[in-house]
Structure 1
Amino acid sequence: MFEFNAFHILVLAALLTTLGTDPSAEHAAPGRSTLPGRFFFLAVNPADKTRAGEPLDRLLYEMPANGQSPPRVITKFTYMRDLVSYPRSGTVGVNVRTGSERGAFLVDAHPGGKFNVTPLLSPKQAAVFESVDWDAPTPATPGHRHLETGVVLSPDGTRVAGVDATWHLCIIEHPGGKAIFCSDNLVTCPGNQLTWSPDGNMVAFVSPIRSNLTACNLHEVSALDLRTGESQQLTDVPGEQFNKEMQRAIVKQGDPTNRWHRSDHPAWSPDGQWIAFSSSRGIGRIRPDGSGFQIVAKGLDPTWSPDGSMLAYRVPKTKGAAVQMARTRFGYPMGRRREPT
């Protein structure tokens, strides 16, 4: 079992659960030696001695799902976020939110490969999804900018979705960069990952609910149908109640909402039938039409195995977090299937 400081973990495939006829049931671990495939996760370098207030290098790790060898570092960036798996191309996507290395990158994750890193976007393309930092520009930092969100490549590799500087969903051609869909009224929440449907016809994203007064304090998962241009809020998972002072600060005047809405991190299943997401009540899943809502586990930040048989998700702990396994018939967390020999 490998442990990491929970504060430093950004994305971690931390626990697996099968999704059978009873999706609320978690199954006992059968022993990690039975699991094929690999984990990929982001964490801060444990040897980093950076002083308080200075940026930390974030490392992309790979480790076998069976736990028979320790994690190894693939690459590192400062301000690296947003781990995305692209099984079709055998790559892993990461986004560097700010700094001189700002941009979206693809890492070759084929077994036995060299993990070569290539830019996903040209500087002109990346500019669509960039915004000026709150404390910039200044005479000292005229070009201090950051990506509003982790941009995500479509399943067929021809489009990229992300959030632009005005917090609106924007989709551009790839590699051309021509805008395909940039909404003037479809507000999204920056800093949250988007997810494509496997057929490329829809995008799920995080958006503020109608009760939200400012920023994205209250948000749920929505979906946009690119064929029609229509969008709808899919989830509605109220959490803990907040007091009247907080209600006045974040809820529109006269609206009765008095509970947190914090559903985020949508992840579309490989068969297109489900969207998994984090919520105030745990890991949920829901149909793309908004039906079939279920809570399936306690945790955060779900991701699907490429065959759709498992969910991997992060389990926060008071003192660190551990990579744990739960029973599964087949499949593996983020990565590619190990080829038979």
Structure 2
Amino acid sequence: EVAIKFLPRRIDVSDEERQRFKLEAQAAAALNHNNIATVYESDEVGDDEFIVMEIIKGESLREKIAKGPLKLDEAMRIATEVAEGLHEAHEHKIVHRDIKPANIMLTTKGQCKIMDFGLAKMAQATLVTKDGTTLGTAAYMSPEQAQGVVVDHRADIWSLGVVLYEMLTGQLPFKGDYEQAVTYSILHEDPEPITGLRTGVPMELERVVDKCLQKEASDRYQGATELLVDLRQCQKSTLNVRTSTAPVVTSRNRYSRWAVFVAAVLFIALVYALFLSRSRPKEIKLGRTKQITNQPGLELYPTISPDGNMIAYSAGAIGQMQMHIYVRQIAGGRSVALTEDIPGDQYWPQWSPDGTAIAYASDGIIYRISALGGIPKRMAEPPNAESWLEFPVWSPDGRYFAYVHISSETVATVRIQSVDGNESRGITDGYELHSLSWSHDGEWIAFVSGNVSFVGVGGITLGNIAPSSIWVVSARGGEPVQVTDNEYLNTSPVWTPDGKYLLYVSNQGGNRDVYQLPIGDSGTPSGPPMRLTAGGLDAHTIHLSTDGKSLAYSVFTKHTNIWSVLIPREGPISGSEAEPVTTGNQIIEGFDVSLDGKWIAFDSNRSGNQDIYRMPIAGGEPEQLTNHRSGDFGPAWSPDGREIVFYSLRNGNRDIFVMSADGRSLQQLTEDPAQDTIPNWAPDGRQILFRSDKTGRSELYLISRETVDLHWGKPGQLTFDGAWLGGWSPDGQLIAINNSNGLSVISPDGGDSRLLVQSTDQPAWIGGWSPDSRTVYYNQADAEGRFSFWSIKAAGGKPKPLLRFDDLNIDNFIDTFIFATDGERFFFISGELESDVWVMELITDE
């Protein structure tokens, strides 16, 4: 008994359908496996084409899922058998391309059979579809199928992950009311965690599904063999949990058997209840919220006093470039400025355990001031002018405090010092450490690594888009433990009073919300994180009261766009003359204007993720060029306008990539574990200048190719005295650079740099050159502290002010170091920053 499958006989049947039908027969006939439906032969009669295949009695997996989620062991068994069948197909270089429940049959004996290799494609063969047509059912298609690009066997891994998700939850991970909406979800959204939809699912199994559903094929299982190893391990783990042996109980009568049985049940119930009371996460319910501040500008870094009655925070207007410490009662009243008359920025206030003093950071030094105000006293200062101290936190007994000692742009050390200054020691170091929190029992210190520019220093650099991770280290020192991933923003950890949980801010769910993570006695996570707030709290930093009943947080929003203004012959002119180039609720961090002045490329989160876009400067709809969940930044046009260089977090750290101007081809140029950023082109298109911290501090590097058609070589170091940014002169003879000394020029061949502008309290940032290579444009605050654009001759001379930002409608926020020119206009980033302090009531089950 066999099944005969005919190609539907229609008047409009296409050659493509016939070719695809033949391909199915050829591909499937080459396979012989228990979990693949057997194809015996293919043939045609007249205009009818058909295949003869094994007839399978039973039900489809789609019919079974329609009845509800499957049992764990059954779902894992089916997934394992499908993976075994796919392994066989992939070994023969065959990709199914349409794995879905309707194409998986369950025989009456319970065996899985993969059906319908009608969409199968010999690996690396030509895709036989019409232009723009994608094969595969939308909800189960991999991102690469949805984009219509070449796929391989890893597309089947993705589809099986979708099927397993659906078996476990009864719903699809990526949904929408129409096909385009489903495709958008596949490309841009993360599925809801399985453990949030169904209890009892092992974390190991959820991790298997998550790995199958990685949007980048290189991040998934690289073959069915790897997937099978993990699936079988999950099956063993589940079996071990569920299987137990018990002694045989014999008795003289029915009464004794029942007595033993009842006692055993009561004992098991008691043990289970004790287990649940100790192992289940503490439920934290959200109570009332209260807005504490509502003034224009920024109110940041709130902390609650030990008695729970007062709150301290930093505040200041953007244009004033200064933050000061304020305190006020949570119940209401007027804010009192503690440091308003003190020069510089004061930020990151931290109450002493007895509530009498507040520690804070200012200009790289740690101070303390009475909670009632007065003259601040130094607690710790850096050992030299090249380093600085940030992020103080008190020990629970008030005898010590910890802080971050930053010895270069990226290398930092967590140190502990006694309040009397007699003891000081380092406990751990790493990349961009910040946001310390000391557990209430004094045992652990939590901290963040990466993206310190999101938290900000002095309220100037805020809201940077990049991932970061949370770590825990013993206060006595030792090896730190990473407790969150480094794929999302994870920041501002705070300990609960019992030391069993960390609360922190993360955007792993899309928006910035507060999460709860259980921490075991060894400082490692004892369970998965749980989201406490939902809907996008937009939290910046958080602080938990000593009794754990109140959570202070700052709500932070940021929107930036590109503006332009004509370069004046005589200045300075006002920034109020600028006009917007881009509009909308988005964050733009980097951009560049094409050499012909017709196009602008920029990064933006307008679609929810930071990607590269291009648009005509004259106006039009932005065209998205990249789509990667890790984020792409800082695009720069090649001189001929055919390529765009940018940096990306695709590999966990920042690397340099080059793509064609239409985004279709992509090449990675650097793969160093360091942070490689802010690239730009040489005028001949054969070199790219970029910044890297591979030596421990920021320097500039060059990477070259012989011609525009050849591969790139290895990077070479250009500067050796520190450098942040660089820009080529149009004639290629000089590179303008800036560092702590100021603005200089250097030859592309290296050598000593020549200083043009000395740094003041604010650095000078390179912005571009005049078309004749004789003038350098830069950005530096003027004597009144206002952001201003200047020009200076490359040969040296007196700086000339050109543009002054004195209009608060324009310069609520001006990016201090990203601006460009096409020779006729200045282009710069401007936007709005706003934050207010709130307090939320927390209710815990005791």
* Counterpart-to-counterpart distance in 2, 1:208 and 1:328: 29
- Aligned match of 1:337: none
In structure 2, what is the Cα distance between the partners aligned to 1:49 and 1:173? 37
SS in 2 for 1:88: coil
Q: Counterparts in 2 of 1:53-68, with a 5 A limit?
A: 55-56=321-322, 58-67=323-332
Alignment correspondent of 1:248: none
1:41 is displaced (CA, Å) by 1.5
Aligned-partner residue type, residue 532 of structure 2: V
* SS across alignment from 1:156: coil
Identify the match of residue 335 of structure 2 among 55, 71, 75: 71
The alpha-carbon deviation at position 303 of structure 1 amounts to 0.3
Query: Does structure 1 residue 159 correspond to structure 2 residue 400?
Result: yes
Equivalent in 165, 190, 205 of residue 447 of structure 2: 205
Q: What is the Cα deviation at residue 266 of structure 1?
A: 1.6
Alignment partner of 1:104 out of 350, 363, 366: 366
Say yes or no: does 1:296 pair with 2:296.
Answer: no
1:187 and 2:430 aligned? yes
Q: 3-state DSSP class of the match of 1:206?
A: strand
* Residue identity (%): 20
Alignment-mate amino acid for residue 311 of structure 1: L
Structure 1 partner of 2:296:
5
Deviation at 1:43, TM superposition (A): 0.4
* Bigger helix share: 2
- Change over 3 Å in CA distance of 1:285–1:176 after alignment to 2: same
For residues 269 and 287 of structure 1, the distance between their equivalents in structure 2, rounded to whole angstroms, comes to 10
Structure 1 Cα separation of the partners of residues 311 and 401 of structure 2:
24
**Which residue does the alignment assign to 1:40?**
312
| Matches of 2:385 and 2:495, distance apart in 1 | 27
Q: What secondary structure does 2:381 align onto?
A: helix
Question: What letter is aligned with 1:63?
Answer: R
Aligned to 1:115: 373
Secondary structure, in 3 states, of the residue corresponding to 2:547?
A: coil
Q: Give the distance between the partners of 2:374 and 2:470, measured in 1 at CA.
A: 33
Tell me the TM-score normalised to structure 2 length.
0.26
In the TM superposition, what whole-angstrom CA distance separates every residue of 1:80-105 from its partner, at most 9, and x where no partner exists?
Answer: 12121223343222111x2xxx5222
Task: Provide closer, same or farther for how the CA distance between residues 170 and 308 of structure 1 changes in structure 2, counting only shifts above 3 A.
Answer: same
Deviation at 1:208, TM superposition (A): 4.7
Deviation at 1:233?
0.5
Shift in Å, 1:173: 3.7
Partner Cα distance (1:161, 1:274) in 2: 20
One-letter amino acid of the counterpart of residue 172, structure 1: Q
Distance in 1 of aligned mates of 2:345 and 2:403: 18
Does the Cα contact within 8 Å between 2:350 and 2:360 map onto a contact in 1? yes
Could you say what secondary structure the match of 1:271 adopts? coil
Residue in 1 that maps onto 2:772: none
Are residue 280 (structure 1) and residue 507 (structure 2) matched?
yes
Q: Is the 8 A contact 1:152 1:195 kept in 2?
A: yes
Question: Hey, what's the Cα distance between the residues in 2 that align with 1:324 and 1:160?
Answer: 26
Query: Aligned partners of 2:436, 2:393: CA distance in 1, in Å?
Result: 7
CA distance in 1, matches of 2:334, 2:477: 47
Q: Are the equivalent residues in 1 in contact too, given 2:403–2:414 (CA < 8 A)? A: yes
In structure 2, the partner of 1:176 is: 421
On the 8 A contact 1:13/1:323 being kept in 2, the answer is no
Among 266, 289, 314, the residue aligned to 2:554: 314
Task: Give distance in 1, aligned partners of 2:336 and 2:349.
Answer: 16
Distance across 2 between alignment mates of 1:162 and 1:117: 21
Indicate how the Cα distance of structure 1 residues 156 and 188 shifts in structure 2: closer, same or farther if over 3 A, else same: farther
Amino acid paired to 1:154: S
Quick check: 80-89 or 312-321, which moved more? 312-321
Instruction: Give me the whole-angstrom Cα distance separating, in 2, the residues matched to 1:327 and 1:218.
Output: 29
Aligned AA (2:426): F
CA distance in 2, matches of 1:169, 1:202: 12
Task: Give, as a single letter, the amino acid of the residue that structure 1 aligns with 2:400.
Answer: R
> What is the letter of the counterpart of residue 475 of structure 2?
L
Q: Report if aligned partners of 2:396, 2:440 keep a CA contact under 8 Å in 1.
A: yes
How far apart, in 1, do the equivalents of 2:426 and 2:319 lie? 44
* CA distance in 1: counterparts of 2:495 and 2:357, whole angstroms: 17
CA distance in 1, matches of 2:399, 2:839: 35
Ranges in structure 1 where 5+ consecutive residues have no aligned partner: 15-35, 133-144, 210-215, 239-260, 331-341
**Larger Rg over CA atoms:** 2
Unaligned runs of 5+ in 2: 1-290, 452-464, 559-831
Residue 92 of structure 1 aligns to a residue in which SS?
strand
Residue 87 of structure 1, aligned match among 326, 332, 353: 353
- Tell me the number of residue pairs that the alignment of Structure 1 and Structure 2 aligns: 245
SS of 2:420's partner is coil
CA contact 2:413–2:426 (8 Å) conserved in 1: no
Question: 1: CA distance between counterparts of 2:310 and 2:468?
Answer: 32
**What is the letter of the counterpart of residue 377 of structure 2?**
P
